[in-house]
Copies of this chain bind each other. A is one copy, B any other.
């Protein structure tokens, strides 16, 4: 039996201690702890990394603090359009959805695409139809109505800019959530879920549902979930790049993460970060932005929760 480990993120961006209240910080930390525990409890019972990743992400999607599921930001049209993807490192099976609305847990819909369709990636109305067919949980618009998100949209519309997440002060923050895990059977899994960008144009797809860019898992190498300015992550094929640096160049997970997040992405202006677990259970949580909501837990070690750089 291998030792299990799990890591999660709740988005990266300009997250400064000076802008945070003690109360707000506490609620983020509690939310991260809850999500880690949801995944950990699966792994501790010798459950599968795929189930742990889904459980952790559902916890984050159900929390209005994060830009995914319930807390999704508003598009230019005042709608919530969500993307998600999930991948199993054991058999390289994967599922993804883009532009879905009124779905309570997009990560579970992505998993259903993987397990119950012949496809990997379903988008828009077609993905909605698939969701109906498999009896996914639909939920009315008002579930997704979070006042500060709506205020953000009005503000973004005024200035005709896109806000990359839910912060009201125009700082960049990428509110994607994600989880990666290794179970006692040695299987890796990764998943990512997002509500996109405030005031984004209808139809924009970021890296979150793109296998290879936002999410990747292979038992031979690692499991990766990204958060950041998606366009740069797509062009750099970030998640698979780390896997290739390990597989083809023999780099450690840490070295591969350093090169991709702290050098390659920085050079093209790609702000963000990612969470990673390799086949040996090593965890890396690199980001090149001011902060990243993140947490990790291994079988034997204490829970780690981080928000800022230091």
Interface residues, chain A, CB within 8 Å of chain B? 87, 92-94, 98-99, 117-130, 162, 201-206, 210-213, 216, 230-231, 234-237, 240-241, 244-245, 248-249, 268
Q: Could you give 14 example pairs across A and B, Cβ below 8 Å? A: A92-B235, A94-B235, A98-B205, A119-B231, A120-B234, A121-B210, A121-B234, A123-B205, A124-B203, A129-B203, A130-B201, A212-B212, A212-B234, A241-B244
Inter-chain contact A202/B241, CB cutoff 8 Å:
no
Inter-chain contact B122/A203, CB cutoff 8 Å:
yes
Inter-chain contact B123/A203, CB cutoff 8 Å:
yes
Contacts of A119 in B (CB 8 A): 201, 204-205, 231
Inter-chain contact B205/A122, CB cutoff 8 Å:
yes
Inter-chain contact B244/A202, CB cutoff 8 Å:
no
Given contacts A87-B235, A120-B234, 5 further A-B contacts (CB under 8 A): A99-B123, A121-B206, A123-B203, A124-B124, A129-B201
Inter-chain contact A126/B231, CB cutoff 8 Å:
no
Contacts of A94 in B (CB 8 A): 234-235
Question: Which interface residue of A99, A126, A130 has the most chain B CB atoms within 10 A?
Answer: A126
- With A201-B129, A201-B130 given, is the CB distance from A98 to B123 under 8 Å? yes
Mostly helix, strand, loop or mixed at chain A's interface? mixed
CB A236 to nearest CB in B, in angstroms, measures 7
CB A201 to nearest CB in B, in angstroms, measures 6
**Chain B: CB-nearest residue to A204:** B119
Contacts of A241 in B (CB 8 A): 240, 244
Among B92, B126, B244, which residue has its beta carbon within 8 angstroms of that of A201? B126
Contacts of A98 in B (CB 8 A): 123, 205
CB A95 to nearest CB in B, in angstroms, measures 10
Inter-chain contact A126/B202, CB cutoff 8 Å:
yes
CA A123 to CA B94, docked complex, whole Å: 20
Nearest 6 pairs of A and B residues by beta carbon:
A126-B203, A124-B124, A244-B244, A126-B202, A212-B237, A248-B248
Contacts of A236 in B (CB 8 A): 92
Contacts of A245 in B (CB 8 A): 248
Contacts of A205 in B (CB 8 A): 98, 119, 121-123
Question: Which interface residue of A94, A117, A231, A236 has the most chain B CB atoms within 10 A?
Answer: A231
Contacts of A125 in B (CB 8 A): 124, 202-203
Contacts of A99 in B (CB 8 A): 123-124, 126
CB A190 to nearest CB in B, in angstroms, measures 13
Among B130, B201, B210, which residue has its beta carbon within 8 angstroms of that of A203? B130
CB A172 to nearest CB in B, in angstroms, measures 14
CB A284 to nearest CB in B, in angstroms, measures 18
CA A83 to CA B90, docked complex, whole Å: 29
CA A125 to CA B127, docked complex, whole Å: 13
